[in-house]
Amino acid sequence: MNRSSCPQISFDFAGRFLPPVYILVFIVGLTANVIGLKILLQNWTKLKIINVFVLNLGLADVLYLLTLPFLVVYYFNKSKWIFGDTFCKITRFCFNINLYGSIGFLTCISVSRYLAIVHPVRVIGRLTVTHSVVVSVLVWVLVIVQSLPDMFFPKTYQKGAQKCFDTTSKEFVEDYLRYSVGWTLTGFCLPFLVTVGCYSHVIVTLCGSGSTDRLLRRRSLRLLLVLILLFSVCYIPYHVLRNLNLCSRVLLKRRQCYAWSNAVYVAHQVGRGLVCLNPALNPLVYLHVSEELSSGLRALLGRTRRVLQSHKMSSFTGNAPPANATNRV
């Protein structure tokens, strides 16, 4: 339906919704990932194949988390970008590296679990830490190659106040839509299908084998639930809504306006908020794939509990009045 004037878009919604999400993710995500990486590095000599993927997943998370304070300043400053065009592109690049790096390393973790559970005899002694390091390097290279074209699209626009787009400016939105669709297919859909296929086979194998270790079965089922949470909450809505919002922008550029354009924009901003939760949720994966992290976290929580209990007891005894205090009056 063609119209002479297009509906008003609630561009200020992002400035109200995203900063609190970014602050929460920065605090929770950075704390959880730093603790996880510290425990992994402390057990470096016990490094296993799957822990290499976990380590790279944590590094991708920290890389993105360090850019969040700049985005918070951007939205608190009424969407005025003050850090320059180059740093705007670097910030968006770090987001893409985290997003597709996380998807890539989660896929590697899924394939590793699949091989270890479904084909243990075939892979025993054949897969080494060196292989996982090589695969991790390939994942980084592939993610960077996929994300580099995004750097060549204009990210800032000067009209009163400089903006920092998460996609691109209005003039290049058609080209970006084509790039985004291809990027979604190769960077998200294919890894998602591989992950679903691997864990479907893993669950069938675990449930069909009466001799399977119960702890392994429980841990695998919990990891599957975490992956379902990540994909259903973070990744699927973001990719669907990003491409739908780009389609809406293309139609608006062509003066083909629809009543749902504003709803799509708002939903896309919600999707952006949900996808940035993945650095805070990824540590849940660590706990279900790494024995070192699980035992290290339990030890850390035990020490923290003892310190708090000791502090509580000392505060209690320190504040209690002496037994003969009333006799001194």
Q: What is the pLDDT of residue 286?
A: 77
In this predicted structure, the answer to whether residue 328 has a pLDDT above a threshold of 50 is no
In this predicted structure, the answer to whether residue 6 has a pLDDT above a threshold of 80 is no
Say how many C-beta atoms besides its own lie within 10 A of residue 104's C-beta. 24
Q: Which two tokens stand for residue 160?
A: 């009163």
Domain boundaries, the chain: 14-294
The CATH architecture one would assign to domain 14-294 is: Up-down Bundle (1.20)
Q: Which two tokens stand for residue 138?
A: 């390939």
- List pLDDT tens digits, range 57-104: 999 999 999 999 999 999 998 888 999 899 999 999 999 999 999 999
Q: 105 pairs with which residues across the strands?
A: none
Q: What is the pLDDT of residue 323?
A: 47
Residue 54's alpha-carbon distances to 112, 155, 288, in angstroms, are 12, 31, 11
Which own/partner pairs from 160-164 qualify as long-range (CB within 8 Å, at least 24 positions apart)? 161/78, 161/79, 161/80, 161/81, 162/80, 162/81, 162/82, 163/79, 163/80, 163/81, 164/74, 164/81, 164/83, 164/88, 164/91, 164/92
Cα dihedral 228, 275, 278, 178 in deg (nearest 10): 80
Say how many C-beta atoms besides its own lie within 10 A of residue 320's C-beta. 9
Average pLDDT on 29-53 reads 81
- List pLDDT tens digits, range 239-265: 999 999 999 999 988 888 788 888 999
- List pLDDT tens digits, range 172-199: 999 999 999 999 999 999 999 999 998 8
Question: Could you give the CA distance from residue 28 to residue 73 in angstroms, rounded to a whole number?
Answer: 19
Q: What is the pLDDT of residue 74?
A: 94
**DSSP letter string over 40-68?**
HHHTGGG--HHHHHHHHHHHHHHHHHTTH
Average pLDDT on 215-224 reads 75
Instruction: State the residue for tokens 């800032």.
Output: 156
Question: Could you give the CA distance from residue 29 to residue 255 in angstroms, rounded to a whole number?
Answer: 41
State pTM to two decimals. 0.85
